[in-house]
Amino acid sequence: MNNITIPNNINELNTTKEKVLSLLKSNESIYVSGQDIADILFLTRAGVWKAIKSLRADGEIIEAVSNRGYRLNNEGIDIDASLIKTRLSANVPKHFKIYTYDEVTSTNDVVRVISNSEGIYDFIVISNSQTNGRGRRGRSFFSPKGTGIYFSMLLKPNFSFEDASLLTCLSAVALCDAITEVTDIEPSIKWVNDIFCQDKKVAGILTEANTSIEDGHLESVIIGIGINLIDPQNGFPSDIKNTATSLLNKGALPEDVKNRLCASFINHFYSYYNNMNEHTFIKKYIDLSFLIGKHIKINSFENTNDLTKKQGTAKDNYALVLGINEKCHLLVEYEDGHKASLKNGEVSVVEY
């Protein structure tokens, strides 16, 4: 047997999978042969292989080299799926899975690929960077390595397409809760899906719904979130440098912050999601929204309900925000006095 470190608590772990992972973690710099793993853990070679396969399905990156063995290769990935898992609360489904990556095109796209091939739901894909990060309205989302975190969850909600948009608001509240719990920073929400700190955006949410072509039934929802954690070394790109900032500003990334933020987000998310009908998150969403009482310019909107049954004028895109209703629609009063609720859209604050 090679010089293998055997963790002290290995016999206290419940499952074979946990034991194999713990053994590989304690020997990250070397390859551990399948036979050595089998001997240490009193397994058959087939049992070792089954555990390795299952760990890979959980997103662990395990290299296999013939005649040498297995090696956990989480190099460059400071996201630790097993650490996140140990921090999940009882609200999170037992079958919840975590996939971690160093670089992907877009975590929303990886979610789709996994969902198509494995047919599962209630899982998260977390990455250190994205080469093709997507924002709302066809924009790109700046997702460099080392300064942010990017993740997407897949859900199979049992409600209408109409209510799917509420998940964006629920996620915004869960994200604010997580940020405050982990960093003590109190962010605010810019309707609909932006998280702000010091008047600038630190995080964005992209919700994508998959509906059945036949009956329009909501089949699944992907919620993608990107957070700027620290300032990029060369600053933000010119198109967002006046509007974007990072949560922790300058300096190094505190250890474990990515794992803590992800775990906290998942926990808060499911605690609201499991009680979706109670709408507890809506009150919080309203409390955290900084647009209420502000004058805004409505840059675009997807659906509006004219509450005063009056036709708008050309100046209609300037309005005062009166509030947010129980469906998370923005209630506005236009300059000509007529009122409306906006279901979705993009607005900017106007300073007079």
Chain residues that interact with ligand BTN, rule: CB under 6 A? 106-108, 130, 133-136, 139, 141, 150-152, 204-206, 224-226
Question: Cα–Cα distance between 266 and 96 in angstroms, integer?
Answer: 10
* CB nearer to ligand BTN: pick between 226 and 345: 226
CB closer to ligand BTN out of 107 and 245: 107
CA distance 194 to 196: 6
* Closer by beta carbon to ligand BTN, 70 or else 99: 99
Shortest Å, Cβ 260 to ligand BTN? 18
Nearest distance from residue 115's CB to ligand BTN, in Å? Answer: 14
Q: In this complex, which beta carbon is closest to ligand BTN, that of residue 148 or of residue 157?
A: 148
| The Cα angle at residue 204 between residues 198 and 209, in degrees rounded to 5 | 155
Q: What is the DSSP string of 220-242?
A: EEEEEEEEE-S--TT-S-TTTTT
Q: How far is the CB of 130 from ligand BTN (least distance, A)?
A: 6
Q: Provide, rounded to whole angstroms, the least separation between the CB of residue 65 and ligand BTN.
A: 33
CB of 70 to ligand BTN, least distance (A): 30
Q: Counting beta carbons within 10 angstroms of the beta carbon of residue 117, is it exposed (0 to 12), middle (13 to 18) or buried (19 or more)?
A: exposed
- DSSP string across 86-111: HT--TTS-TT-EEEEES-BS-HHHHH
Mode of pairing for the β-strands spanning 318-324 and 295-306:
antiparallel
Burial of 32 from C-beta contacts in 10 A (0-12 / 13-18 / 19+): buried
> What is the CB-side half-sphere exposure of residue 198 using CA atoms within 13 A?
9
The residue with its CB nearest to ligand BTN is 204
d(CA 171, CA 245): 20
CB of 132 to ligand BTN, least distance (A): 7
Nearer residue to ligand BTN within complex by CB, 36 or 109:
109
Smallest distance from the beta carbon of 223 to ligand BTN, in angstroms?
8
Nearer CB in complex with ligand BTN: 169/205: 205
> For ligand BTN, which is the closer residue by CB, 63 or 302?
302
Strand duo 194-197 + 200-211: pairing: antiparallel
According to the 3-state scheme, what is the secondary structure of 38-74? HHHHCCCHHHHHHHHHHHHHCCCCEEEECCCEEEECC
Residues 6+ apart with CB under 8 A from 314: none
Nearer to ligand BTN, 37 or 247 (CB): 247
Asked if 47 contacts 54 with a C-beta cutoff of 8 angstroms, the reply is no
Minimum distance of ligand BTN from residue 227's CB (angstroms): 8
